[in-house]
Amino acid sequence: MIDELANIAKQVLVSMNIQVSGVRLSKDSLHLVNSPLCVVIGLVNKKGEEKGILGFEFSEAFAKYALSCLMPGYNVDMLSEIGLSALLELANMTCGNMLTRISPDAVTTPPTAVFGKNAKMLLNTAPCYRMIFDTPSSSLVVSLSVT
């Protein structure tokens, strides 16, 4: 399933003019994050039996590159209101496309952007699958944990 999710996410990124040169997959025992900017989206199904977290981990270099693809010709800071809004929208769109494949009756909670240099971030205590999208400028990591 992770292969399919990675493929869906790649299609969304490419549709936004973000070039993806390769996709790598990995698995961790905990859903920990090590990037300065992370967008967190909660997942729940309607019965509440399954829930999870989808995390979008942005390095400063990738955020800058993604913003230049989303808004060509403008120099947008990733922590400005418009920059954060664009990155949240990118995460939300990718999540929306992946959602039906994760669970047919899953719904999302509102995306939250968390910024913290040197902060410890634990998105979930469940095992996490990472999809790493290599681009011309750094990588985007999309991570999923489901309980």
Q: Does 12 bind other proteins (CB under 8 A)?
A: no
Contacts of 64 (CB under 8 A, 6+ apart): 78, 137
Q: Does 51 bind other proteins (CB under 8 A)?
A: yes
| Binding residues among 72-101 for other proteins as defined by CB under 8 A | none
Please say which residue, 13 or 99, places its beta carbon nearer to other proteins: 99
**Burial of 37 from C-beta contacts in 10 A (0-12 / 13-18 / 19+):** buried
CB of 33 to other proteins, least distance (A): 9
Please say which residue, 40 or 66, places its beta carbon nearer to other proteins: 40
Query: For other proteins, which residue of 1, 2, 71, 122 counts as binding (CB under 8 A)?
Result: 122
Angle between helices 81-102 and 2-15 (to 10 degrees): 140
Q: Does 52 bind other proteins (CB under 8 A)?
A: yes
Contacts with other proteins by CB under 8 A lie at: 40-46, 48, 51-53, 107-110, 112, 114, 116, 118-126, 145, 147
